Structure 1
């Protein structure tokens, strides 16, 4: 464990200092970042052996940081331990879905923290050894190389066709996904609605209609994280489960409505205010959406 490089990502200066002192006392080489975005930049420059990240941070959350690391081949073997002020079934499930190695409660003690750090570093070491052993040895005999032939000139490829004005995630919809798209279509009949999509309970994009968006899968992950944080806050203060979110930006509005435990509806609107008609349409379509998703 000594000499291993650990990156601590937390927006709290006091937590970063406490962790830096604790980890350094065990011979670990510690660097810190105050946001997930800074943490990603640090990882890209000097990959650590372990990342310890807070769950709730301004901007990108610890769940999202972990998920991004696990989707990249260069960082997917770096274990991530998440720190959370609340550890319940919802937090544990989200941590598992994001690919985290473990979760530590905050405030934490050395007895809570160090056994998990040691297990994470050992697991990463074994994983890297197994990966290295799977690489073929250069001295092993190999089949003879095929003869080198002159390249054959090919006619230029025709230009690609123009993109379709509206897209969804399933190029050949199954009957159930087509039924879901049919129930989303009435939202696009309202001129103020630019896009409508459905996000699954794991943050996956289930269906999408309307204006093309940059990185819609990442947007679905953000929506899922917002709902998760809202749910944790509700449990903390003994509130009922969150039903909807209304986010107003400069000239834009995002409305998120929970359909069921399996999915949520997301609407991207032009302008702000005057959403009463839209909310009425959401209530009107909700039974059909629930029926399609439960079938």
Structure 2
């Protein structure tokens, strides 16, 4: 099933805008959430084809939100790519253990992101 709708979860308005603009130009519908709690709620409400999840956010962080989404019956099949400035190998391992499908460090290479999206779809 091709990826059509992507949920971008990031507390930075600049990051959300840049990612939304890039994804929209590449033909994707974009839904945005500004924190982990909002991301979990929108994942349940919107049922996107893919979630791009920041890690460092106030309240529920990206690891906690990923764990919640990946263990919820309604959202467990939605792939999550973590997009974060946390670039240590332990961060990536922890993200994958929480249920992430993939892990990318910021600044996200747009060509690589498109390849990962294509591989999912």
TM-score normalised by length of structure 2: 0.92
Please report how far the alpha carbon of residue 86 of structure 1 lies from its aligned counterpart in structure 2 after TM superposition: 2.6
- What corresponds to 2:99 in structure 1? 99
The Cα shift of 1:87 comes to 1.7
- Pair 1:78 & 2:70 matched: no
Whole-Å separation in 2 of the counterparts to 1:101 and 1:33: 19
Kindly report which structure 2 residues correspond to 1:171-182, keeping only aligned pairs within 5 A, or say none.
none
Residue 69 of structure 1 contacts residue 76 of structure 1 at CA under 8 Å; is this kept in 2? yes
How far has the Cα of 1:112 moved from its partner? 2.5
Distance in 2 (CA, whole Å) between partners of 1:54 and 1:17 is 14
Query: 1:108: which partner in 2?
Result: 108
* Contact 1:7–1:51 (8 Å) recurs in 2: yes
CA contact under 8 A between 1:7 and 1:32: conserved in structure 2? yes
User: What is aligned with 1:245?
Assistant: none
Aligned to 2:13: 13
Instruction: State the shift of 1:44 in Å.
Output: 1.9
Give the equivalent residue in structure 2 for 1:166.
none
Q: How does 1:174-213 map to 2 (within 5 A)?
A: none
1:2–1:28 contact (8 Å) kept in structure 2: no
Q: Structure 1 segments of 4 or more deviating over 6 A? A: none
Q: Structure 1-normalised TM-score?
A: 0.39
Where does residue 22 of structure 1 map in the other structure?
22
* SS in structure 2 at match of 1:14: helix
Q: Provide the secondary structure at the position in 2 that maps to 1:7.
A: strand
The aligned counterpart of 1:43 is 43
Q: Tell me, what secondary structure is at the counterpart of 1:57?
A: coil
Structure whose CA Rg is larger: 1
Spell out, residue by residue over 1:137-195, the C-alpha distance to the aligned partner (whole angstroms, 9 max, x if none). Answer: xxxxxxxxxxxxxxxxxxxxxxxxxxxxxxxxxxxxxxxxxxxxxxxxxxxxxxxxxxx
SS in 2 for 1:91: helix
Q: Which residue of 1 aligns with 2:59?
A: 59
Structure 1's 37 and 107: CA in aligned 2 closer, same or farther, altered over 3 A? same
Distance 1:57 1:2 in 2: 29
**Inter-partner Cα distance in structure 2 for 1:68 and 1:50:** 15
Per the alignment, do residues 33 and 105 of structure 1 end up closer, same or farther by CA in structure 2, a change over 3 Å counting? same
Corresponding position of 2:119: 119
Could you tell me how far 1:2 is from its partner in structure 2? 6.7
Q: Could you tell me how far apart the structure 2 residues matched to 1:10 and 1:28 are?
A: 17
